[in-house]
A = this chain, B = another copy of it.
Amino acid sequence: MDIQLKRGMLDVCVLAAIKDEDSYGYKIIKDLKPYVELSESTLYTILKRLEAASMLTTRTAEHDGRLRKYYHITDAGHRRIEEFKREWKEVISIYQFVIKGEEEHA
């Protein structure tokens, strides 16, 4: 899938991945895999960005002798998802414009 098309959805995808339950890097990647493929370097960049924007908080906990960094969504994070849903209406209208007059001879 085109990289550019994913942009703008990735941040919200990560937020959605921790929406119902705190999660950690490795698990987020696996959970998102069926929908979007993203590399570790991309994920950690995004997580840092979201933390800086106060959309999530972090907590480190031990699991099987290894340290795991858990990410917890904030109210601002939830609001970001809501905002995305509002913006989606515009996205759809752009899509409609692009495919306008295409269906007939498809």
Known: A9-B94, A16-B98. A87 touches B2 (CB 8 A): yes
- Copies of this chain per assembly: 2
Q: What is the interface residue range for chain A against chain B?
A: 20 to 34
A interface: dominant SS = helix
Known contacts A7-B8, A8-B4, A20-B101; is-contact A35 B84 (Cβ 8 Å) = no
Bound complex: CA A99 to CA B87 (Å): 13
Which residue of B has the minimal Cβ distance to A36? B94
Determine if A61 is an interface residue (Cβ-Cβ < 8 Å): no
Determine whether A18 belongs to the interface, using a CB cutoff of 8 Å to chain B: no
If A12-B98, A36-B94, A97-B16 touch, whether A1 touches B85 (CB-CB below 8 Å) is no
11 new A-B contacts at CB < 8 Å, known A4-B11, A81-B102: A3-B8, A5-B7, A9-B91, A9-B94, A16-B98, A16-B100, A19-B101, A32-B97, A35-B93, A85-B99, A88-B95
